[in-house]
């Protein structure tokens, strides 16, 4: 088997006998690394070549196996690595504690090598299948997000098309909103507020800023000369129409971060910092942040 495709196994045990035994028996099929204590094992598990599976002794001086497993589970880089406990402890309570902490399996000493090989193969197979399933879920999620973006963009483009705008205008709006939000997120007062998820919602909702123009008569939208007072009054209602459209969707499917942001943008993107905007005459930070960026 090609060494580059061999699964990596980390053995953490303070007994030289078991380190030598496991290294000899497992190295025929796997890449094996060894650690004589918990700290060395945690360093190897968190290294550049992280293991695919960890064999972990429970009774070790200093940090024991339970504490080591707890540290592995707290670390995002190592929490998904399956861990098989190797121990001379045979009580049901010890075994139960191991499983409650997140151990994948539990093998008692003295070790039966055929059983060890079977358990290792089984856990590696489960881990590979779980990884494949997680990747499939991620890909399906990406497809769903792309579909949602296409629908949102299409709705925005439909509204803009009535106003002689183009899809490139919507793309620019999305790009500008993201750039402004990302720059703002570098400031201490906005760092916690503008998380990646919030910035994504700002960007995705931006094309819906003028969705309310669907309700504006075409004669007003396409009028080549300046609007009179009555026509301008109709035009100024499009933010309220946009809010109403999005709130109707919200009642139908429930609220989400995306819908909340889209409603703020559609309703408030013509508000001005000095209070001279419309439809509510909001000023300063009373204007929702997403709408301020869109404006």
User: Mind listing the pLDDT tens digit for each residue in 217-264?
Assistant: 888 988 889 999 999 999 999 999 999 998 988 887 788 888 899 999
* 189 and 73 share one domain: no
Query: How many distinct helices (H) and strands (E) make up the chain?
Result: 13, 5
* 146 and 222 share one domain: yes
Backbone angles phi, psi at 53, to 5 degrees: -155, 145
| Residue 131 covered by a domain | no
The whole-number pLDDT of residue 3 equals 44
Burial bucket for residue 227 (CB in 10 Å: 0-12, 13-18, 19+): middle
* 166 and 33 share one domain: no
Alpha carbons 68 and 72: distance in angstroms, whole number = 6
Give residue 57's domain range.
Answer: 3-111
CA end-to-end distance (rounded Å), the chain: 60
Q: How many CA atoms lie within 13 A of 241 on its CB side?
A: 15
User: Mind listing the pLDDT tens digit for each residue in 143-177?
Assistant: 777 766 666 666 666 666 555 555 578 888 889 99
Q: Which residue carries 């064999």 as its tokens?
A: 55
* 86 and 7 share one domain: yes
H or E stretch including 53? Answer: strand 53-57
Token pair, residue 94, equals 């010890």
* 170 and 278 share one domain: yes
Report whether pLDDT(96) > 60. yes
Alpha carbons 201 and 255: distance in angstroms, whole number = 13
| Domains in the chain, number | 2
Strands 83-87 and 31-35: unpaired
Mean pLDDT of the chain: 88
The pTM score is: 0.55
* 169 and 257 share one domain: yes
Alpha carbons 208 and 220: distance in angstroms, whole number = 20
- Looking at 90, 111, 132, the residue that finishes a domain is 111
* 186 and 273 share one domain: yes
Q: What ranges in 32-185 are assigned the alpha helix state H?
A: 38-45, 65-74, 92-101, 113-161, 167-184
DSSP state of 13: -
> Which CATH number is 214's domain given?
1.10.3210.10
Alpha carbons 194 and 142: distance in angstroms, whole number = 22
* 166 and 73 share one domain: no
The whole-number pLDDT of residue 167 equals 55
Closest CA relative to residue 200, chosen from 156, 242, 132, 152: 152
Task: Count the Cβ atoms, other than its own, within 10 Å of residue 127.
Answer: 17
- Looking at 70, 90, 111, the residue that finishes a domain is 111
Report whether pLDDT(47) > 90. no
> Which CATH number is 22's domain given?
3.40.50.2300
């Amino acid at each position: 088997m090609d060494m580059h495709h061999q699964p990596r196994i980390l053995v953490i045990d303070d007994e030289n006998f078991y380190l030598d035994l496991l290294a000899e028996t497992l190295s025929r099929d796997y890449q094996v690394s060894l650690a004589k204590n918990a700290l060395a094992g945690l360093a190897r598990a968190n290294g550049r070549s992280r293991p695919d599976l960890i064999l972990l002794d429970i009774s070790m001086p200093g940090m024991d196996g339970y504490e080591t497993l707890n540290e592995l589970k707290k670390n995002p880089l190592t929490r998904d690595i399956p861990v098989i406990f190797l121990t001379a402890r045979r009580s049901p309570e010890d075994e139960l504690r191991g499983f409650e902490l997140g151990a994948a399996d539990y093998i008692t000493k003295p070790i039966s090598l055929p059983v060890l090989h079977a358990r290792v193969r089984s856990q590696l197979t489960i881990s590979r299948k779980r990884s494949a399933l997680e990747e499939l879920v991620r890909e399906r999620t990406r497809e769903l997000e792309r579909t949602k973006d296409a629908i949102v963009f299409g709705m925005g483009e439909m509204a803009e098309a009535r106003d002689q705008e183009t899809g490139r205008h919507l793309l620019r709006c999305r790009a500008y909103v993201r750039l402004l939000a990302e720059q703002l997120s570098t400031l201490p007062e906005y760092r916690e507020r503008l998380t990646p998820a919030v910035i994504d919602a700002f960007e995705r909702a931006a094309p819906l800023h003028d969705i309310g123009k669907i309700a504006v008569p075409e004669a007003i939208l396409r009028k080549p000369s300046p609007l009179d007072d009555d026509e301008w009054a109709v035009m100024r209602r499009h933010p309220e129409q946009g809010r109403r459209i999005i709130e109707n969707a919200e009642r139908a499917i429930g609220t989400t971060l995306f819908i909340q942001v889209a409603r703020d943008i559609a309703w408030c993107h013509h508000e001005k910092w000095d209070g001279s905007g419309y439809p509510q005459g909001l000023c300063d930070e009373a204007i929702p942040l997403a709408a301020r960026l869109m404006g």
